[in-house]
Structure 1
Amino acid sequence: MSGETEVYFYHLEGRTLEQVLPTLLERSLERGWRAVVQASSPERVEALNTLLWTFREDSFLPHGTSSDGTAAMQPIFLTVEADNPNDAAVRFLVDGATLDDASPYARVVYVFDGHDDDAVSQARAAWTEAKDKGFAVSYWQQDGEGRWQQKA
């Protein structure tokens, strides 16, 4: 499936992951995609779990974690593992999380902090690896108004 998989890189500068991730997840659900969000620690998964319940007063994003016990039913699944228990079409990698094989997904999205030199270096290495494997890659940055602009 490598010819069909898109690998996106979202470079955060003016906004935080907490400000950006809910909107990206909403767009994924609007496309009819299930999503997996892979974070780097169980504590971060719990923080994202809380965020998705409270990010906006008038709505929430339907999601779960391994502690909920219904992974296969979750439109959005939060994890530290590399599995895909909800048969997600899109996988978000945050806080330096890595993925060995992007090919099972329609899209893999790296969201990284542009102010963190290690995160930028890791994203560059992931970009090179994705291109070398033949995935369609694109790089996005936000403009002054917060709109995502494709830069590469």
Structure 2
Amino acid sequence: MSDVASETSGPDYWFYHLEGSTLEGVLPDLLEKSLSRGWRVLVKLPPDKQKQFDDHLWTFRDDSFIPHGRDDEPMADWQPVLLSSDIKVATGFDIVFLLDGAEVEISEGVSRVMVMINGRSEQDVSRERGRWKALKAINASLAYYQQNERGRWEKRA
């Protein structure tokens, strides 16, 4: 896997296993928390999801939006949250979100990688189990959170 750190001093990998919520339901809150820490955010996702999430981040709440842009638009380097399906190396970001099995090489400076898992897709769960095992084999810093029946995150590992 290309996003696997080569040493243990790399970023923390947090796996978020969605059960009751959708990615569209939880991603805005996680992005807002990241921005409140002053972090620059990369959201790596498949090309067919880029426009969907771009539109969603402008309209998810009537009284707010998340400042963001896409890597195929002007001034991408200035965006606090960047949506990308093309970036190969996460340079200049503090936190990276990986959606739908997306991969990116993690560069120095990235503090955290958030791996979002669709718990309603066995393919997604299986793929991310493989990612977890590969990261564990190199002693990466790992945490696993799963939603409980109330939609709250519980740390499971």
Question: Which stretch shifts more, 104-113 or 47-56?
Answer: 104-113
TM-score (ref. length: structure 2): 0.88
1:53 positional shift: 0.1
Partner of residue 152 from structure 2, selected from 114, 135, 147: 147
1:67 positional shift: 3.1
Structure 1 position 60 matched with structure 2 position 65: yes
Q: Which runs of 5+ in 1 are unaligned?
A: none
Partner of residue 117 from structure 1, selected from 122, 126, 136: 122
Partner Cα distance (2:109, 2:126) in 1: 25
TM-score (ref. length: structure 1): 0.91
Partner Cα distance (2:117, 2:135) in 1: 16
Instruction: Give yes or no for contact 2:43–2:82 (8 Å, CA) kept in 1.
Output: yes
1:112 positional shift: 1.2
1:103 positional shift: 5.3
Partner of residue 91 from structure 1, selected from 78, 93, 96: 96
Partner Cα distance (2:96, 2:22) in 1: 18
The aligned amino acid for 2:116 is: V
Structure 1 position 31 matched with structure 2 position 55: no
Structure 1 position 7 matched with structure 2 position 22: no
1:4 positional shift: 4.4
The aligned amino acid for 1:58 is: D
- 128 and 11 in structure 1: CA distance in 2 versus 1, 3 angstrom threshold: same
Cα shift readout 1:94-134 (whole Å, capped 9, x = no counterpart)? 01212344655100111011111111111111111112222
1:66 positional shift: 2.2
Q: Which runs of 5+ in 2 are unaligned?
A: 1-6
Aligned residues, how many?
A: 150
RMSD: 1.7
Partner Cα distance (1:138, 1:119) in 2: 17
Partner Cα distance (2:36, 2:149) in 1: 25
SS of 1:8's equivalent?
strand
Partner Cα distance (1:133, 1:68) in 2: 36
Corresponding residue for residue 4 of structure 2: none
Instruction: Give yes or no for contact 1:102–1:108 (8 Å, CA) kept in 2.
Output: no
SS of 2:132's equivalent?
helix
